[in-house]
Structure 1
């Protein structure tokens, strides 16, 4: 006997944080984060937050509303309450917490669809094979499903495509304000939101700038889900919806081209083609602004979310998050003049370039 503890299965009780077991316990909690994620995803998929109003609700009543087994739901609610998602009252009913209210689909800042997207079957499938992707260096999604992610949405699982689009809109609401605050629109009359999804960023810009006109470009399938305010009413009078494949053309003459979280989807050659398409349609002196995550170069710590998103892009497609020098190289190859980055109070960064005369 050496007097040292044996390294074996981790104990169920928390080990002292000052020992090697403390670090191991932290790693264990990280590995089990998928369990915590799964219960939140289940809550969103069952619509539990929408079914609990201002008054506490019992699990039997809740099970009837969402079509669940009462016993199984009781166990899920217990786990959710242990995570702060819902609060269990003294009489065994459940009521909202600040966390659970963020899963109500109708409240500003809701993350219900983001949670459902995380719980999509394809998401679990590709993450489970991360080590395979690292070994091979190949994209997993098309190898497993026989088509790209967007083809899968269009041809196999349109309902999952709808969840994806709603989740992207939810995510964009977190960043539209900071982007609009930082974007210089002096002398700008037309903004093109390229692959802008349902158009939440463009709507924010049009609402804040009454003399501004906008163009929302995306696939016909996505534009059918465009924000109703951009299809009817006062804002719609200043907005055009243009269906297109931006890899083939960006048919909009504008002063500013915005691409929010677009270039990380594709490899460099496709991104260069998209940027060239923007430059081809642009007015003299127009700007191209990429709103994207930035991987820090050098010893500075990287955002954990940015690095995880980079891995997701590796799993589902041919793109990834980029460093500033890699963005500058994209612009140079597209014939644009790189202007630099503008950091905003958001996980995203504005990476800007200008169309040469």
Structure 2
């Protein structure tokens, strides 16, 4: 009689196999933004504006290695950003067109900001956030996020240029989603280069604006337009200390998500003290919806967690912030973008 025992059939549950394969694929997903960053850094899309080119032609124009460049483009083609033809040439697709530097709404600078090492490295150490209950940025760079930018002009430029590029496609749809008054003053708190303020003022000749930010940020404003002449002014300051007095509207876009609750309450209280009697505060941020559905706010929230002290918030969390600052959440308006307009009025 043989001592060899029959081997049992593989009893692995098909669902277990599917889970294993799915998780491996998910773990590899970080290579897509890595490839996207590489393509953005070397400016591949700019060299495809006039039509398809081979990797060798693109490599000659971008100062890269053709074989390695081909491998990056091949992966990005699986996401529909480029397409390879039968002759081995790549073309830029409609989905990838905004990667061109000269595209009407170019997001190349935004891609470079989102994938910059100041965001990438903390994301890679997110487990530190879980263990320590704070951002991983400080431990990696030796100081908080905005302190690092204050000392590193090159990184600060990446951030501000990237934020402007990220905001450009959003500004007009957001401004159009809100019924701004025809007259009065709107203060864009932490308004950066002024894209949202420009969108709010256009078409409303009786409305005036204040672009409020740090001096070095205001220097890059883009409000020199004939239709805005005499209708806006820059004001330099620290919004945690104060904001300009007497306006009807105080708006802040992608600002509160940078900060913890304590800092947000300070900022909102400053707006409450400064606003006109019938004034309103508009927070333009992503609002995390309930449930398990995909939403960009949930990804943005982890980027904030890894690099800053801030967070994306739910409607109830916004309501709590407002209440502590002497405000009352009045309504939340959806926009065609990932951001909502969270509107608050005086609580008393």
TM-score (norm 1): 0.88
Superposed, 1:47-126 pairs within 5 Å as 47-126=43-122
Contact 1:218 1:245 (C-alpha < 8 Å) held by counterparts? yes
Alpha carbons 1:56, 1:93 under 8 Å: kept: yes
Task: Provide the residue aligned with 2:270 in structure 1.
Answer: 277
Deviations 1:60-80 (A, max 9, x none): 332222221233223323333
Give the superposition deviation at 1:260: 1.0
State the match for 1:11 in structure 2.
Answer: none
The 3-state SS of whatever aligns with 2:121 is helix
Q: 1:131 and 1:45, CA in 2 relative to 1: closer, same or farther beyond 3 A?
A: same
Are the aligned partners of 1:190 and 1:212 in contact in 2 as well (CA < 8 Å)? yes
Alpha-carbon distance between aligned partners in 2 of 1:274 and 1:85, rounded to the nearest angstrom: 40
3-state SS, counterpart of residue 270 of structure 2: helix
CA distance in 2, matches of 1:190, 1:303: 37
Contact 1:85 1:99 in 2 (8 A): yes
Give the C-alpha shift of residue 291 in structure 1: 1.0
CA contact under 8 A between 2:332 and 2:342: conserved in structure 1? yes
How many angstroms does 1:289 deviate by? 0.9
Runs of 5+ in structure 2 lacking a partner? 1-6
Q: Specify the SS of the correspondent of 2:86.
A: coil
Secondary structure, in 3 states, of the residue corresponding to 2:226? coil
CA distance in 1, matches of 2:299, 2:148: 22
Change (3 A) 1:188 1:24: farther
Shift in alpha-carbon separation, 1:245–1:37, aligned structure 2, 3 A? same
Alpha-carbon separation, structure 2, partners of 1:120 and 1:92: 30
> Residue 331 and residue 32 in structure 1: after superposition, are their counterparts in 2 closer, same or farther (change >3 A)?
same
Q: CA deviation at 1:256?
A: 0.5
Structure 1 residues 288, 105: closer, same or farther in 2, change over 3 A?
Answer: same
Match of 1:10 in 2: none
CA distance in structure 1 between the aligned counterparts of 2:342 and 2:60, rounded to whole angstroms: 50
Question: Following the alignment from structure 2 to structure 1, what is the Cα–Cα distance between the partners of residues 97 and 242?
Answer: 42
CA distance in 2, matches of 1:191, 1:130: 38
Matches of residues 20-35 of structure 1 in structure 2 within 5 Å?
20-35=16-31
Aligned to 1:102, what secondary structure does the other structure show? Answer: helix
Paired residue for 1:329, among 320, 325, 343? 320
- Per the alignment, residue 4 of structure 1 pairs with 10
Residue of structure 1 in register with 2:239 after alignment: 246
Listed as ranges, the matches of 1:197-346 within 5 Å are 197-227=192-222, 230-297=223-290, 300-301=291-292, 303-346=294-337
- Contact 1:86–1:95 under 8 Å retained in 2: yes
Are the counterparts in 2 of residues 287 and 353 from structure 1 also a CA contact under 8 Å? yes
Instruction: Give the Å deviation of 1:356.
Output: 5.5
Give 1:166 shift. Answer: 2.1
Q: Is the 8 A contact 1:54 1:95 kept in 2?
A: no
2:202–2:227 CA contact under 8 A, matched in 1? no
How far apart are the structure 2 equivalents of 1:193 and 1:5?
Answer: 62
> Following the alignment from structure 1 to structure 2, what is the Cα–Cα distance between the partners of residues 194 and 289?
10
Deviation digits for residues 12-34 of structure 1, max 9, x if unmatched?
A: xxxxxx74323332322221111
CA RMSD of aligned residues (A): 2.2
> For residues 228-260 of structure 1, what are the alpha-carbon distances to aligned partners after superposition, in whole Å with 9 as ceiling and x for unaligned?
xx1353314211111111111112431011111
* 3-state SS, counterpart of residue 96 of structure 2: helix
1:137 and 1:2 mapped to 2: Cα distance? 47
d(CA) in 1 for partners of 2:105, 2:174: 16
Counterpart CA distance in 1 for 2:300 and 2:219 is: 27
Q: Distance in 1 between matches of 2:170 and 2:341?
A: 11
* Structure 1: segments with no counterpart, 5+ residues: 8-17
Q: Tell me by how many angstroms 1:201 deviates.
A: 1.1
Contact persistence 1:188–1:255 (CA under 8 A): no
What count of residue pairs does the alignment treat as equivalent?
342
